[in-house]
Amino acid sequence: MAFDEMINADSSPRAPYRNYHEWYSNQDPARLIAKSRDAENIFRKTGITFAVYGHEDSSEKLIPFDIIPRVISGSEWRRLAQGIEQRVLALNAFLDDIYHKQEIIKAGRIPRELIEKNEAFLPEMIGFRPPGGVYTHIVGTDIVRTGEDQFYVLEDNARTPSGVSYMLENRETMMQMFPELFQLNKVQRVEDYPYLLRQSLASLAPPGCKGKPRVAVLTPGIYNSAYYEHSFLADMMGVELVEGSDLRVIDGKVKMRTTRGYEAIDVLYRRVDDDFLDPLTFRPDSCLGVPGIMDVYRAGNITIANAPGTGISDDKAIYSYMPEIVEFYTGRKALLENVPTWRCSEPDSLKYVLEHLEELVVKEVHGSGGYGMLVGPTASKKERAAFAEKLKSRPNNYIAQPTLSLSTVPILVNKGIAPRHVDLRPYVLVSDKVQIIPGGLTRVALKQGSLVVNSSQGGGTKDTWVLED
């Protein structure tokens, strides 16, 4: 039985939801259905969309928004935030170490081949330390809950975490439609995120930066599935949105084309993957990046957020070592647990996974978005057999985990409310301090019984409230 975040076993509301539950009990269901339609219209008019590539219909779609908020108490949040901060600092220390002294490898805590043969490990970053020693400027840690005090980290998104625009738009929409709820509940703010993001990025400008640092957002362009978010964040921060074709390397600086000529950029928040960032260093066929930007970066004349090479910390095989990584760099046990993980590269683990496929979730080590995975309990015998062959042919490419019973939060349905499984992606900013936005993006599996919350797989989102004490 999944843990219900709103309702206790005796049918009373849990403490964080008491005010909301009392308010909801006095609402006309027809009004709430109408409000839900209003929210959809707001999102449609605003243009809050995403695209799913690889499908026959790759047109832009709305991400479904559910108007029943997820509510987290202040004390619950403090425990979570402590664990998130510890983990993010450990990740940054890990990245600094593997590109320098590699002490964790020398100590035998992680296999050398897992680092050096990893496609996300960039030899070009060896010996280079970014401004301020920060690699992971923006992190989106995926967390799931299975009980009153049971939280697990599902993924570390330290490359180019997305979805923060939905967090901001969800809150704005809820405040617009239900202002009375924000008078009844002391909900911590998320609206300051764009200001905090710009402030955090600017604080890590290169040492040679004179005056106010110039920040820009690098997007792959209008055909990227997250282009709305790139444009939204640039607008909210009050900075330029640029494509690779807008930038040139001139006199050892990355400069942006303006009506006044080319002007230098100090900090580039890039939403372009490593492979496409610099055709002179990485993929020569890339038209999305800036030729020569890595030379400027290594010379210390621009800050790139997140740093190239951080993607290795998103690797699911690396994830399986996170308890060791946290303890190695912090000297303390991890405050947030990992989901138990079998590395299919290890013969004994592979044998176990093949014998228990019907119980497990199997994921590609570099996979994302819910693609390339097998959910054993819901897969057919034929699907499991086909996946077993993949595992046998490329065991290094997969990890496996138990099927967790994710917590539920109600969604609005035609006949009232019904529980659906959720996860949580808090957003973290790292500079000379760690700032964790209170709440983050709650993703919800809209199909009854489904555990897949990804928007690309039919999931939706909710506003996430963290209450003040």
Q: What is the pLDDT of residues 157-180, one digit of tens each?
A: 999 999 999 999 999 999 999 999
Tell me the HSE value of 372 on the side-chain side, using a 13 A CA sphere: 15
**Share of residues in the chain with pLDDT > 90 (%):** 89
Q: How many domains does the chain have?
A: 2
Asked whether residue 164 falls in the same domain as residue 141, the answer is: yes
Structure tokens at 151: 């939280």
What mean pLDDT do residues 224-236 have?
Answer: 95
Q: What is the pLDDT of residue 55?
A: 46
Report pTM.
0.94
What stretches of 365-466 adopt beta strand conformation (E)?
374-375, 398-402, 408-413, 416-425, 427-430, 434-436, 441-444, 460-466
**Helix 193-202 crosses helix 164-177 at what angle (to 10 degrees)?**
150
- The 10s digit of each residue's pLDDT in 340-366 is 999 999 999 999 999 999 999 999 998
- Is residue 258 scored above 60 in pLDDT? yes
Asked whether residue 347 falls in the same domain as residue 435, the answer is: no
Q: What is the mean pLDDT of the chain?
A: 94
In a domain, residue 8? The reply is: no
Asked whether residue 81 falls in the same domain as residue 174, the answer is: yes
In a domain, residue 306? The reply is: no
Q: Give the ranges where 1-121 is alpha helix by DSSP (H).
A: 18-25, 29-46, 74-98, 103-106, 112-116
Closest CA to 375 of 398, 403, 394, 343: 403
Asked whether residue 79 falls in the same domain as residue 169, the answer is: yes
What mean pLDDT do residues 5-12 have?
Answer: 96
Coil/strand/helix, residue 440:
coil
- Residue 256 contacts by C-beta under 8 Å, 6 or more apart in sequence? 214, 216, 240, 242, 246, 247, 262, 263, 264, 265
- The 10s digit of each residue's pLDDT in 193-227 is 999 999 999 999 999 898 999 999 999 999 998 99
- Is residue 456 scored above 90 in pLDDT? no
| Domain ranges, residue 395 | 340-402
- The 10s digit of each residue's pLDDT in 398-420 is 999 999 999 999 999 998 999 99
- Are residues 95 and 67 in contact, defined by beta-carbon separation less than 8 angstroms? no
Label residue 12 exposed, middle or buried (CB < 10 Å: 0-12, 13-18, 19+). exposed
Identify the residue whose tokens are 């839900």: 36
Q: How confident is the model at residue 368 (pLDDT cuts 50, 70, 90)?
A: low
In a domain, residue 9? The reply is: no
In a domain, residue 73? The reply is: yes
Asked whether residue 371 falls in the same domain as residue 385, the answer is: yes
- The 10s digit of each residue's pLDDT in 102-150 is 999 999 999 999 999 999 999 999 999 999 999 999 999 999 999 999 9
Residues 37 and 449: their CA atoms lie apart, in Å, by 24
Asked whether residue 361 falls in the same domain as residue 453, the answer is: no
Asked whether residue 333 falls in the same domain as residue 373, the answer is: no
Q: How confident is the model at residue 49 (pLDDT cuts 50, 70, 90)?
A: low
- The 10s digit of each residue's pLDDT in 310-334 is 999 999 999 999 999 999 999 999 9
- Is residue 54 scored above 90 in pLDDT? no
